[in-house]
Each structure stands twice: as C-alpha cells, then as structure tokens.
Structure 1
Amino acid sequence: MLWIAIVSMVMMFAGLTSAYIVSSSREDWVSFEMPTAFYISTALILLSSTSFFMAKKFIKQDNRQLTTVMLLATLALGIAFVVFQFIGYNQLIDSGLYLTGEKSRISSSLFYVISFAHLLHIIAGVIVVSVVIFNHFRFKYNSSEVLGIELGSIFWHFLDILWIALFLFFYLKG
C-alpha cells in the first residue's frame, strides 16, 4: 500500500510541476526568488532524514536509547520544517507574492499550491513519526522487529527526496 501511495504522490506532483512548466510561458508570468526560509527548511528535512536513518540503524543494534534520541530528533526536525515553510510563506507575502486575489500571480499561486501540497504530506509524515515513537515506547521494535520503523522511514525519506526535487525544480525554474 505504501508503494502505491508513493506512486500516486509522484504522479500528483508530476502533474502539478507540469502545470508550472506550461504556465511559465504565459505573458503574465512573474519569476521570483525563493525565500531564505525554504533554504533552511531544506537543510532541516535533510537532517531529519539522517536522524531517521540513524534511528533505524540503532534499533537494529538494539540500542533503544540512541533510537529514542534519533526518533525524537526526527520529529523535532520535521516540526521545524513545517514552521520554516510557514515562515517562507510569510516571506512571500512580505514580497508581495500572494496565493489568491488581485495581486496574486500564477507563478506564486502555483508555488503555494505545490509547496503546500508537499507540506500536507509532511504533516502526515510527522504523524507517522509520532506513531513510530509511540510504538517504540511500547517496545514494539527491536533488532528482529523493525517493520514499523522501516515503513515510516521509507515514507519519510520519500518526502525528503520529493522536497529536494521540488526545491531544485523551483530553484532552477525560478
């Protein structure tokens, strides 16, 4: 089921980025630079993938203490990613780039839609990480039972890769 969901998400974001590419040829297209907060959120999500990778490594070694630290770090970094995305949206608004209304532009509207769609998936990922942590505290994982952490990490790493792809897309297309 997870792989079906991932394929569906890839298709959705392929469609959205295709709309961005097609729309960029419009006469009213306005290019803009990504706010600095999106650079920070990119670093945060990379760090969160690293911490989740380490959590999986440590549980396979039955090191519950370091697994706990790495899972909590992943959760904190994921929440920080969400916070910095909203800071980035505020920076866009401060620059006069809106989602809707008279002053909105198709470029900024599509940027908001695509990045917010990803943000909703990150919020789902934060819930997944929270469930993994909950189950970890209930001693459901050890060196021979890692399925929940494995599935959670696949989803989280997918979201990381997806954001990096979107970030590079916007950076290069900007």
Structure 2
Amino acid sequence: MEEKFAYAEGVEQPIAMHPKKFALWLFMVTVVMIFAALTSAYIVRQSEGNWLEFELPTLFWYSTGIIIISSLALHWAYTAAKRDNLVQLKLGMAVTVVTAIAFLVAQWYGWVALVNRDVFFVGNPSGSFLYVFTGLHGIHLISGVIFIIFVLISSFRYKVHSQEMTVMEMCVTYWHFLGGLWIYLFMFLLLNH
C-alpha cells in the first residue's frame, strides 16, 4: 500500500498557465504572424519596382523614445506592485498612460508630416504599407492604452498588489510586446524604405 502512495507522489504536475494569460499569448502570436506576413509582402512588393523613396518623419524617432519611456514607467509600476508600494504603482501607471497617449499623438503627427510630404495611403505602395504598418500597430496600441487605464483604475481600487498580480502581469507583457513590435517595425522601415 505504501508503494502506491509513493508512486502517486512522484507524479509531476502539468505545466499550468492562467487561461487569460494563455489567451493573451495566443493573441500576441497572431499579431506577430500578421506583421510577419505584412513585412514579407513589403519586401516582395518593393523588389518589383515603382517604389517611392522618402524619409521617415522625425516624429517616429521621438515616438520610439516615448514608447521606451512608457515601458520603463510600466516596469516601475510593476515592481512597485510586487512590493505593495501603492503610491509608486499609481504614479507609474499614470506616467505610463500619459506617455502611451503621447506616443499615439506623435504617431498621428507623423502621419500629418507624411501627408505634407505628399506620401498618401492611396498612391504608391510604399506609402500604403507605411500607413498600414503604423495604423495597425496604432489600433493594437489603443487596446493597450485601454488595458493600462483599466489597470490604473484597478490600482486606485486596491485590486492590484503583490497578492493579485495577474492583470498587472498581463498588462506588462502586452505593453512590452507592443513596444518591441514598434521598435521592430521602425527598424524594418529604416532599413527598407
């Protein structure tokens, strides 16, 4: 009888992940596949010729810096939540919201600069691809901003702390993913425009 119990104790637990985290990871994999397909299509279409060469707006450099600052602020908020420092958590989340919105505003004015340079969505495919890349990323970023605002509100309701980190961990994962995705797209566009 003892042998049966000893055998049962040796059974390993399966790897478990919170269902919402798993869904988030599936979603991010889907987004990666979409952008991989778009960047591949960009390279193929560019090689066919009839490609407008233009400089990327300077605002895209600033927005890259802004999203890096935003990720740093969110990481600060995350570490504050793990230590139950609710003042720093709220401050970090507020800074993240402000810088996330600043990123979106910078992207919008980047589009304005493109229009001023006669680069439009309709016309040459190089401009179309740029608008699709930045617009699709912007849509995902808006969802990220909504998520960050939700976590900020939750932190004011004391629902984010060291004992309840699931939503905060998901927010940090998604936001860092979006920041990394933007850096990838920006570097890709710099090297292939």
Pair in the same fold by TM > 0.5: yes
1:16 matches 2:41: no
**In 2: Cα distance, 1:26 partner to 1:83 partner:** 34
Q: Which runs of 4+ in 1 moved over 3 A?
A: none
Q: CA deviation at 1:61?
A: 0.9
Q: CA deviation at 1:27?
A: 2.3
Q: CA deviation at 1:158?
A: 0.3
**In 2: Cα distance, 1:12 partner to 1:127 partner:** 22
Superposed CA deviations along residues 71-108 of structure 1, whole A, max 9, x for unmatched, are 000000000000000100000000010001xxx21001
**Identity of counterpart residues, as a percentage?**
39
Counterpart residue identity of residue 139, structure 2: L
**In 2: Cα distance, 1:11 partner to 1:105 partner:** 25
Matched pairs, number: 171
Q: Which residue in the other structure is 1:46 paired with? A: 68
Counterpart residue identity of residue 147, structure 1: T
Q: CA deviation at 1:141?
A: 1.4
Q: Which residue in the other structure is 2:91 paired with? A: 69
Residue correspondence of structure 1 range 77-156 to structure 2 within 5 A: 77-100=99-122, 104-156=123-175
**In 2: Cα distance, 1:86 partner to 1:142 partner:** 35
**In 2: Cα distance, 1:32 partner to 1:23 partner:** 16
Q: CA deviation at 1:26?
A: 2.3
**In 2: Cα distance, 1:60 partner to 1:22 partner:** 46
**In 2: Cα distance, 1:119 partner to 1:94 partner:** 20
**In 2: Cα distance, 1:24 partner to 1:120 partner:** 25
Q: Which residue in the other structure is 1:29 paired with? A: 51
TM-score by length of 2: 0.87
Superposed CA deviations along residues 3-39 of structure 1, whole A, max 9, x for unmatched, are 0000000000001111111111122111211101111
3-state SS of paired residue (1:27): coil
**In 2: Cα distance, 1:9 partner to 1:99 partner:** 22
3-state SS of paired residue (2:161): coil
Q: CA deviation at 1:170?
A: 0.3
Q: Which residue in the other structure is 2:78 paired with? A: 56
1:171 matches 2:190: yes
Q: Which residue in the other structure is 1:158 paired with? A: 177
Runs of 5+ unmatched residues, structure 2: 1-22
Kept after mapping to 1: 8 A contact 2:151/2:160: no
Runs of 5+ unmatched residues, structure 1: none
